[in-house]
Structure 1
């Protein structure tokens, strides 16, 4: 008896791994899952991961995305925020859905586009992963050519920059020149867990006013 995807239940914080999945099967599964879903996917060389995030994962994702938008606006940098868009490249047999992502240098290339194919379109300039429920697969992002990847795990932000086809750890983000981004993200997220999102963002806005504006 063959199981259908809607018979499988993945609880929050859990992962489902499927192997020997062809690209055509992967595309069919994406269609079955639909656009309005809580599950996120990652596909690499025939292995498909389906993951349902925990509530704390979503909270961290939302506030870090909000911080990025606030800082880009303060720096007067144009951007397009594409959230958990599915990025895929059939030629490289890779697909991934970041927790959130931003087009910054390449923002004009994606204005008005609802679907992206990385065999044609540029990858996001910045992808962000919250590593609470699963370990980010660097190969997905490396092979798709994402130049900057942030991973937030255990209350700490790690910046990875793509250089000569490999990711290296970095202390600063080229998208936020002159800003101590690791310290700022870590402190603001920590404050949001203590005093709540609104007060934490107000504190960040004060920092921006004193240090950027």
Structure 2
């Protein structure tokens, strides 16, 4: 596939998220808010050492989140790997004073360790890959947050640009290829994203499957 930048509106024309940030919030208060809101809610919470952000995703956020999630799942499944995928799952560790509800997270290499049960980061490894869509500004330092969780690979999308980050010596470094899917370049993602806009999501996924069948390295 040829490299092609996605067709995208300007950020100013894309109402994507509504955010509210509170400072100096104790961990116990954060946990009480989680319990009060329950699991089935529109708002997502991120907590980082006393900073609590409430975020309500709108369509311009949810659509790329779902599209990219489908991209990752299709690559993993069609390549013959195992997968446990989670959306907006609450990841938290009290000793780190950190909590997150990413758009998508995936267990690939460590799927067998969490298969068929609820994940508990106090004893389970972190997800192998986390995806966050942030089209508007966030006050949470998500690179620091997920690095402290030990997430090996972090994908960030701002509505136009995909950034792939790999954890190296406790900090994220930007790379061009996925750690979990090392034969995949970002150019494939941009081609897929553009196809979603011009051909529709179903046809874009069909074309992606065709690409995987012809490009996935055979053992």
With the length of structure 2 as denominator, give the TM-score of the two structures.
Answer: 0.86
C-alpha distance after superposition, 1:14-62 (max 9, x if no partner): 1111122111111110011111112111101111000011202111111
The residue number in structure 1 matching 2:60 is: 56
1:49-91 Cα shifts (integer Å, max 9, x gaps) = 0001120211111111111111111221111111221110000
CA distance in 1, matches of 2:16, 2:171: 32
2:107 to 85, 103, 109: 103
Counterpart residue number, 2:204 = 200
Shift of 1:120: 1.8
- Corresponding residue of 2:21: 17
Which residue of structure 2 lines up, in the alignment, with residue 7 of structure 1?
A: none
Unpaired stretches in structure 2, ≥5 consecutive residues: 1-14
Report the Cα offset of residue 209 of structure 1. 2.5
Paired residue for 1:122?
125
Out of 152, 176, 184, the residue aligned to residue 147 of structure 1 is: 152
> How many residue pairs get matched?
201
Tell me if 1:178 matches 2:183: yes
- Among candidates 29, 33, 42, match of residue 38 of structure 1: 42
Contact 2:91 2:100 in 1 (8 A): yes
Instruction: Give the Å deviation of 1:111.
Output: 1.4
Distance 2:129 2:102 in 1: 10
5+ residue gaps, structure 1, are 1-10
Query: RMSD of the TM alignment (CA)?
Result: 1.7
**Distance in 2 (alpha carbons) for counterparts of 1:12 and 1:150:** 18
Distance 1:14 1:66 in 2: 24
Task: State the Cα distance separating 1:12 from its structure 2 match.
Answer: 6.3
What secondary structure does 2:57 align onto? coil
Partner of 2:135: 132
User: Matched residues in 1 for 2:192 and 2:100: separation?
Assistant: 27
**Structure 1 CA distance, aligned partners of 2:52 and 2:93?**
14
Flag the structure with more relative contact order, 1 or 2, with Cα contacts below 8 A and sequence separation at least 6: 2
1:169 maps onto 2:161 in alignment: no
